[in-house]
Amino acid sequence: MKAKSLITIISATVFLGACSAADQADPTENQTVTVLTHDSFAISDEAKAAFEEESGMTLRTTSPGDAGMVLNQLILNKDNPTVDVVFGIDTMSAQRALDEGVIADYTPSNDPGSDLRIGNLTAIDRGDVCLNADAAYFEAEGLALPESFADLTKPEYENLLVVTNPVVSSPGLAFLAGTIDQTEDWQQYWNDLLDNGTKVVDSWSTAFYTDFSAADGQGDYPLVLSYASSPAYGEGVFVNVEGTCVRQVEYAGVVNGAQNDEGARAFIDFMVGEQFQSEIPETMYMYPVADVDLPEEWATYAQQPENVIVPDPALVAENRETWQQQWTELYEARN
């Protein structure tokens, strides 16, 4: 289900002695739009060229790492922002970004994800976090897929699940928020989950590519924490586990105090447009928020889950650091 020094180059308007204001250069021409984003952001050469031609500006991206680091950098630099637009703030960190005042007020006139909007943040894509299951394993064992978080603590699923650390992993945090939303005593639930042999690793790539039995590494775990879109690339080899999917939307916003806020607004307009939205499945492996055609393998193997757990963003913002600290203490006490 991702740092370079940042500069904004503003072209000087050239005054020619006898020229009137109408003859001056367009003040937006050759400006740079600087996007702060995670290291999984991708845009095709064609889309980048289209934006630059339409806007008359140069697009530049910079990434400090994963989505959590994006928000941290944005907050650290909020008194002297060096970027114009941010992309990759997700559902679990959206409210904190708003509370910190780092996002300026802007809503594009075309807002296909308006129902997912949080304050000043514009929804760009969805990457709901779900458990993926090795279909062949469960068929060979004659074992039914789990249907809920509660099922994961049952003896028949012992030593089958690998998840990611919610302190350093975006899907891990979504999974933690889901367990808190769905259980009466989440700390007891996690003790039961770990007692049942659940493995915790730091990164999605390790969990998916090394530990998951249906992926390249052919690991020991037939259940992995991943994304609802992942089965599109397994073409039926692995499937989503309904009842374990947690809403995760990625947002973009104009940075408060941006030097090129006009360019930031233009890029957000472009991101919700048809060209960029149509490319999202194959460039970033997420679901677009606009109603565009999905690749054939997505329509066949990775339809969006119908029943998604949606934690309250404000509740997550208020308790996130406390939950992560409590989870860390619980986990470390066992190791």
Kindly report the average pLDDT of the chain as a whole number.
Answer: 88
Q: Are residues 122 and 259 in the same domain?
A: yes
Domain co-membership, 258 together with 181: no
The range of the structural domain enclosing residue 47 comes to 21-126+249-294
Is residue 144 included in any domain, yes or no?
Answer: yes
Same domain? For 194 and 313 the reply is yes
* Residue 107 and residue 40 share a domain: yes
Segment 51-88, tens digit of pLDDT: 999 999 999 999 887 777 888 899 999 999 999 999 99
Structure tokens, 136: 């062949």
Q: Which residues contact 267 (CB under 8 A, 6 or more apart)?
A: 33, 35, 51, 55, 59, 84, 85, 252
Q: Which helix (H) or strand (E) holds 181?
A: helix 170-182
Q: Which CATH number is 231's domain given?
A: 3.40.190.10
Taking phi over 0 as left and psi of -120 to 50 as alpha, with beta for the rest, 235 belongs to left
Examine the domain organization and report whether 25 and 150 are in the same domain. Answer: no
| pLDDT on residue 297 | 84
196 domain residue, yes or no: yes
Query: Looking at the predicted structure, is the pLDDT value of residue 10 above 80?
Result: no
More confident residue, 29 or 92: 92
Give the pLDDT confidence score for residue 233 in this predicted structure. Answer: 79
- Tell me: pLDDT of 17 over 50: no
Please tell me whether residues 34 and 141 are part of one structural domain.
Answer: no
- Please tell me the distance from the alpha carbon of residue 205 to that of residue 273, in angstroms, as a whole number: 30
Is 300 among the domain residues?
Answer: no
Please check whether residues 172 and 261 belong to one and the same domain.
no
188 and 47 assigned to the same domain: no
Looking at beta carbons, which pairs linking 26-29 to residues 24 or more positions away fall under 8 Å? Answer: 26/56, 28/55, 28/56, 28/57, 28/262, 28/263, 29/56, 29/57
Does residue 11 lie in a domain region?
no
* Mean pLDDT, rounded, for 260-269: 97
Reported pTM? 0.79
Q: Nearest 5°: phi and psi at 104?
A: -80, 160
Domain count across the chain: 2
pLDDT per residue as tens digits for the range 121-162: 999 999 899 999 999 999 999 999 999 999 999 999 999 999
Question: For residue range 93-109, what is the model confidence (pLDDT) as tens digits?
Answer: 899 999 999 999 999 99
Report whether pLDDT(312) > 70.
yes
